Structure 1
């Protein structure tokens, strides 16, 4: 299928771009981004703080990090979210919202379980609550990603990603409020307050619109073997068939497009410590100008993709990633403990680029996904890039020790170069599907 004249970037004026963010679907996406982010921040950050506060050993706390593997392995049960109908809720809300509400209910139950436990008295109840929270949160991600992909056409996916990521940032700030509540009252009330926030999010889901894309095709009929083939095998066969010989270049691009951010980000905090920056200075910059820069980057990524087209936005993302990652090499080479302005410049630039790249990259992944198998295919792509990047990021400290801070950040910036070559090949010679321009008729009718 070909693009219509109305779909070309030249026809999109700035008024149209700004009006997009006031539509009901974008407001819904903001709420869902919040609901998606809060469980991860609670299990990834606040849970470890609580355990250490209770006197649990660091080694034991480290093992609790393994529950976040659910976010990497979520593609294993994504076919269930795509195909299985939840009794009663499916008829009331539809396939996507029913799974969203069910997963949120799991996070609420998990947070309430955790609120009633005491790590000093035994870790088994805490582990059960943490596992339920992590796996419910990962399942929620799968369902929300599918809702996002099916609720808007390709040329609005970057805007959807921006709203989603902004909701994630609100979840981050809310989890910080949960930390404050634990100081004012206790940890139990903190987890209960977060459970209430998730319950409110579930209530708002009832006011959202269920996407129609792919709904009929997701129904499963026939013998058990046929159902398994349609639920598990068909999504992978479908994406292979659509991309053809371009599957390998596209997967390679997905794997390394954000590698610079991942490898650099792990070592940013140790760099601040080695330079001698005060913790309150770093925290103030990250929570003030840095947060504003991230939100601005998310918005600008959506604007750039909608105005200029996704391929050009992906190119811009690599350019600013290269520059801002290299900025940390400049920081390492020139900054001292009192150079707050250098620290601010480096963090603001990096956060602006990170927000921009987050939006356009999510939009690209979304453009590769068919609404018939949205949950399964997106979970596969996102899990693949996250696993590869996180695995290589584990060697960041070894690399920094071997070459020093300046060369470390030069090398991490250099990861954008092979990504740029792959992106050029895909944009110049790739199929329409590889470029993210495949038009799925069901999604193009979304409001």
Structure 2
């Protein structure tokens, strides 16, 4: 894919705002989003379906969820992705694409291993394949995040996040196709088909542009021990020294900005069931207008950041999150099994807000990252928000049991208030770095 000048300088017309989505780098981001999403959906959803279909106990299947912890702790090996050169592939593709191809190869091998196993004959081979698939997928996330951050300036990161998230959605639909294939043929054919889709993604990576930013800074001098210390310590030192004391409110904002979405989402499906909505109707709303609203939200979020600025978009995201999450309290208080229109309003609103804040939030995280240490720093920031939000989400059921659905969704909507206060504090008193306005010169020349 040839390089092209990206529109969107300080004066951005609506034509430029839309045209940015039709550049080669956006198509590359769409493909990479697909490659990043498919391993997670296969290991998180389809693997458990397959194991249960084979008669494996639910308790055992639950333990397999632990392999997804790789996505939470990926920052531990992200310095390796930032610094270590893959033999042969590094010279051929460059540092970022070589790691992307290597990680995709790991997912392909993991899917092939799983396809050749029979869980009724022993779970060890399944576990080996699942671990390889999961850890390769997490490593792929690290490499793709670094490629995304280095391939576009700050003002483009929300658009890149929108294209990335759309690719994720395509991966979700493709994993659903894999489920259909397992019904038409068999599970082994399904896993092999998904492996083929990942292999095709690896081939397409060869035609993408390797970002040039940060390469010189990633080169380290000295002996092996010195390089190891610098690979691990330097990225963390760099972000702390740049943000200084503002690292505290920034990290707190990262941890709680999406807490409302995470905590309410766990109880959404139980609410549908307890109200009495037909599963087919819920699935139809989620897969039809719900999916469309998510995609629309992704791109509106990108447009808002590109057109109005990052911090304003973050504010808008909190407002619509408060409103749309509060809509679930309204649903819980007023809806019956026949009120499909209320169900549709709640799902569409929530998905629209979720898409919007996804692009704005990813853009904010990306704006804090130095291209010299993109993989390490982004993995660290994303792990902060994922771990805290997922941990607290585990208590959602207990809270819902204690206060009821109506109060539960009011409380989760109210999680946007401390996030809004933190955001206001950073907006009013924060440094340019804390606001995501630091200019990394090598990225701004893209």
TM-score interval w.r.t. the shorter chain?
A: over 0.9
Q: Is the 8 A contact 1:301 1:359 kept in 2?
A: yes
Distance 1:283 1:109 in 2: 32
**Cα separation, 1, equivalents of 2:65 and 2:225:** 36
- What does 1:120-159 align with in structure 2 at a 5 Å threshold? 120-159=120-159
Aligned-partner Cα distance in 2 for 1:435–1:219? 29
Contact 1:321–1:416 (8 Å) recurs in 2: yes
Gaps of 5+ in 2: 1-5
Aligned residue number for residue 436 of structure 2: 436
Residue 7 of structure 1, CA deviation:
10
CA–CA distance in structure 1, aligned partners of residues 352 and 81 of structure 2: 34
1:422 aligns with 2:422: yes
Separation (CA, whole Å) in 1 of partners of 2:215 and 2:393: 38
Partner of 2:286: 286
Number of aligned residue pairs: 441
Superposition misfits of 4+ residues, deviation over 2 angstroms: 6-10
User: RMSD of aligned C-alpha atoms?
Assistant: 1.1
Counterpart of 1:394 in structure 2 is 394
Aligned to 2:208: 208
Partner of 1:413: 413
Take 2:14 and 2:209, find their aligned partners in 1: how far apart are those partners? 26
Q: Deviations over 1:167-215 (max 9, x none)?
A: 0000000000000000000000000000000000000000000000001
Match of 2:334 in 1: 334
* Counterpart residue number, 2:321: 321
Q: CA deviation at 1:10?
A: 6.6
1:172 aligns with 2:177: no
Counterpart of 2:354 in 1: which secondary structure? helix
CA contact 1:81–1:143 (8 Å) conserved in 2: yes
| Structure 1 residues 8 and 101: CA distance shift in structure 2, 3 A | closer
Deviation of 1:291 after TM superposition, in Å, equals 0.1
Counterparts of residues 17-416 of structure 1 (less than 5 Å):
17-416=17-416
What TM-score do the two structures reach when normalised by structure 2?
0.98
**How much has 1:224 moved relative to structure 2?**
2.3
Between 1:223-232 and 1:98-107, the stretch displaced more is: 223-232
| TM-score normalised over the length of structure 1 | 0.98
Structure 2 distance, partners of 1:220, 1:80, is: 13
> How far apart, CA to CA, are the structure 2 residues paired with 1:208 and 1:182?
32
Q: Unpaired segments of 5 or more residues in structure 1?
A: 1-5
CA–CA separation in structure 1 for the residues paired with 2:435 and 2:79: 25
Partners of 1:74 and 1:139 within 8 A in 2: yes
Whether the 8 Å contact between 2:8 and 2:20 is mirrored in structure 1 is no
Instruction: Answer yes or no: is the 8 Å Cα contact 2:111–2:194 preserved in 1.
Output: yes
Residue 8 of structure 2 contacts residue 306 of structure 2 at CA under 8 Å; is this kept in 1?
no
Check the 8 A contact 2:8/2:16 in 1, yes or no. no
